[in-house]
Structures are given as structure tokens and as C-alpha cells.
């Protein structure tokens, strides 16, 4: 799929569900084992494509230092989905599955332990099981809520990893290994086309490299709560994967792409939330909503007044902000908490986005238009903040 070169922006009478070119229908089987497994494959393949692209361009620092974060998230998500598929395969009672998912949430180690306890005939050997268990536990030690690589890193994270290089190839191969072992749990067959199982591979989630060439540098910005790496990474990776889409996999691989764009929009809203202009969101309000996934109610409603003020002050057309209000309302109705495109169904096996025709080209442009407006707003506010600071220093 080729992306046209015209500038993408929000426009009148445009909806997520418009069909402008070719529609594809998102249709789940409503068999959780099958659906979780299929979505796991989609996230896994997207993550693998991104890692291969990074490793094919080791001298591209922007890719190494920003694209790797969404790749790690997608790899981790693929493991969670596959573990949940395996649990659904072994356990048939809907209420029991719901209780397990609610208890384990995103914890890979707990999910694998639950799967093991429910399976009397494991298709992997003791060494493979031990390797996987140790590796998943290492992931949970670093990323227990499955959100570390979705948002700007915390000060605690930087205290440990600042100025370190993450080894992209080694960390990627460990994800491939985990996927292969889990797939063997399902089929009893080792897929050597992905990677050969080697239980002597280190089980540490974070792998360090001794240099920056072709690896991910963990750097800090002079700005607190700097969103650059994550905002850039999620948006650029969504663009890359959109261009990679083939006709045969549009329906299933559209899910990771839509999630990436949705997360980029959430990051864009939060980046504006932390603007350092004189008129800005109060700190206590930022603190109360900084972890919210509610795009309209918590994020947009708290920054829209500030944006309207400065846009009017600069004689900018306010129509784009009014249009954005409609866009973000619609997106919030489709995916209120940022989980619709991460899972095929809810914990209670409710399929909220099923049998719906979409035009992925239209969806991409619709969401990319939202992102571009937020990106422009952030640039405007940065410029204003610098001007205000200069004016204050001259008095």
C-alpha cells in the first residue's frame, strides 16, 4: 500500500467509518482461543517487521532510538495475547476465564503459571518451560503493567538505564524465542523458521550493548516529561506498517496500526497538557489526569481552552480546533480506554468491534490528521513559551 504525498490534515465531514477506497471487514470468529491467537500473530508480525527494518538501517539513529519502543510493546502484547489464547484453549468456562484475566491482567508470568496449572499434558520440555518462566518473570520485573514502552520513561527508569544502549538484536531474538516456545505449547511443533529454540539463551529481558551502532540509546532530555521519543516512534512506526500492508492481511494487521495511531494521539494530547506557556493546565489537574486514557473527557477538555486562547491571540483559524473536537469525540466513542484494538474482546468475551467494515486508508488519514494537528499545536506552544520566557527575562 502506497501513501500519497499530499499533506494530511483534519477536514469537514470526515468520519472514522468513511469508505473512500476499499473496505475490509473486521470479523472475529467469536471463539476466544482463535481470535486471541490470530491477533497475537498480527502484533508479532508487525513487531518483527519493525525490528528487521531497524536492524537493516543500523546507522539511522532516529529508528534505533524511537522505533524500538513500539516494537517492544507489540512483541510483549503478542506474548500476552498468545498466553490468553492458550488459556482459552484449555479452560472452557467463560466465567473462569474472566476471573483469570481479571486476576492476571497483563502479567505474563502469572498467565503462564495459570496455563501450566491448567494443562496436564505440556508440549514443551522442562528446560523450555523453565527458560520461558524465567524470561517472563524478567519482563514483569521491568514492565509489570505493560505500559513502560508506551509513555515517557520515569525518573526511576532513567536512574537505572540512562545513557545505556539496549541491544536490539538480542532483545528481539529473546522475544522470538519466547514466541516460538509458546507456539510449541499450542502445536507441539518447533517453528525453526522463526528461531531455533536454545534454552541456554540468557533470560534477562533487558540486554545491553557496548556501543550505539544499530542499538537503542536511552537518552534524557532537558525537558521534564519529554514525549519526543515515544510520540515520534509510535507515529512513524504506524506510518511504516501502513505502507507495508498487503491485501491479504489488511483486516488483522489493521488492529496494531490503529492502536499505534491511537496511542500516538494520546501521547500528543498529553504532550500539550505539559505545555510550559504562561496560560497552561494547573499542576494539580495534570497530576490527576496524567495517566488517563480518556481522550475527550480528561485530556482534550482540559487543553482545548488553552489552545483556543493562543490560537485566537495569533489570529489563527479556530475551525481546525472545532473539527478536532468532533474527531476526538468520535474516537472516544469507538475506543474509550485505548484497549479496543489491543484485544479481540473484553475479559467477559464481549466483542465490541466486530463485523464492521472500515477503509484502512481512510482510517489512517483520519487519525493521522488528528496527530498532525496536535503536533502543530505543540510546535506553536513551544514557540510561544520561548517567546514568553524571553520577554520575562527582559523585564
Give me the pLDDT at residue 7, please: 82
The structure's pTM equals 0.96
pLDDT tens for each residue of 287-345: 999 999 999 999 999 999 999 999 999 888 899 999 999 999 999 999 999 999 999 99
Instruction: Report which of 162, 112, 347, 151 is spatially closest to residue 230, judged by C-alpha positions.
Output: 151
**Higher local confidence (pLDDT), 19 or 223:** 19
Give me the pLDDT at residue 222, please: 62
Output the DSSP codes for 259-322: HHHHHHHHHHHHHHHT--SSS---HHHHHHHTT---IIIIIIHHHHHHHHHHHHHTT--THHHH
Write down the H helix ranges in the chain: 32-56, 61-62, 68-90, 94-104, 108-118, 126-142, 155-161, 168-187, 228-244, 250-273, 283-289, 301-313, 319-334, 360-394
Contact 87, 99 (CB under 8 A): no
Residue linked to cell 532516529: 62
Give me the pLDDT at residue 224, please: 59
pLDDT tens for each residue of 256-293: 999 999 999 999 999 999 999 999 999 999 999 999 99
**What integer is the mean pLDDT of 101-127?**
96
Amino acid at each position: 500500500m502506497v501513501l500519497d504525498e499530499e499533506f494530511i490534515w483534519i477536514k469537514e465531514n470526515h468520519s472514522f467509518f468513511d469508505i473512500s477506497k476499499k473496505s475490509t471487514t473486521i470479523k472475529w470468529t467469536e471463539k476466544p482461543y482463535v481470535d486471541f491467537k490470530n491477533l497475537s500473530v498480527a502484533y508479532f508480525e508487525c513487531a518483527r517487521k519493525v525490528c528487521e527494518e531497524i536492524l537493516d538501517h543500523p546507522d539511522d539513529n532516529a529508528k534505533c532510538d524511537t522505533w524500538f519502543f513500539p516494537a517492544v510493546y507489540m512483541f510483549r502484547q503478542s506474548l500476552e495475547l498468545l498466553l490468553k489464547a492458550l488459556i482459552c484453549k484449555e479452560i472452557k468456562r467463560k466465567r473462569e476465564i474472566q476471573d483469570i484475566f481479571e486476576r492476571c491482567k497483563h502479567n505474563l508470568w502469572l498467565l503462564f503459571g495459570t496455563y501450566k496449572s491448567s494443562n496436564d499434558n505440556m508440549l514443551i520440555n522442562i528446560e523450555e518451560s523453565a527458560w520461558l518462566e524465567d524470561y517472563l518473570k524478567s519482563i514483569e520485573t521491568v514492565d509489570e503493567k505493560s505500559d513502560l514502552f508506551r509513555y515517557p520513561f520515569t525518573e526511576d527508569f532513567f536512574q537505572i538505564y540512562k545513557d545505556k544502549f539496549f541491544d536490539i538484536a538480542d532483545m528481539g531474538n529473546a522475544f522470538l524465542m519466547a514466541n516460538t516456545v509458546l507456539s510449541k505449547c499450542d502445536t507441539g511443533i518447533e517453528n525453526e523458521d522463526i528461531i531455533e529454540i536454545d534454552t541456554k539463551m540468557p533470560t534477562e529481558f533487558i540486554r545491553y550493548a557496548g556501543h550505539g551502532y544499530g542499538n537503542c540509546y536511552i537518552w534524557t532530555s532537558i525537558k521534564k516529561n519529554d514525549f519526543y521519543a515515544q510520540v515520534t516512534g509510535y507515529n512513524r512506526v504506524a506510518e511504516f506498517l501502513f505502507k507495508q500492508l498487503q491485501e491479504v492481511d489488511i483486516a488483522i494487521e489493521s488492529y496494531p496500526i490503529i492502536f499505534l495511531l491511537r496511542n500516538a494521539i494520546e501521547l500528543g494530547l498529553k504532550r500539550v497538557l505539559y505545555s510550559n506557556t504562561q496560560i497552561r493546565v494547573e499542576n494539580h489537574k495534570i497530576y490527576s489526569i496524567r495517566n488517563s486514557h480518556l481522550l475527550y473527557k480528561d485530556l482534550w477538555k482540559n487543553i482545548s481552552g488553552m489552545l483556543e486562547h493562543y490560537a485566537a491571540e495569533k489570529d489563527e483559524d479556530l475551525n481546525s480546533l472545532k473539527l478536532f473536537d468532533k474527531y476526538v469525540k468520535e474516537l472516544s466513542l469507538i475506543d474509550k480506554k485505548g484497549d479496543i484494538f489491543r484485544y479481540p474482546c473484553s475479559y467477559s468475551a464481549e466483542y465490541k468491534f466486530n463485523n464492521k467494515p472500515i477503509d484502512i486508508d481512510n482510517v489512517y488519514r483520519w487519525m493521522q490528521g488528528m496527530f498532525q494537528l496536535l503536533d502543530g499545536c505543540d510546535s506553536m506552544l513551544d514557540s510561544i513559551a520561548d517567546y514568553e520566557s524571553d520577554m520575562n527575562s527582559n523585564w
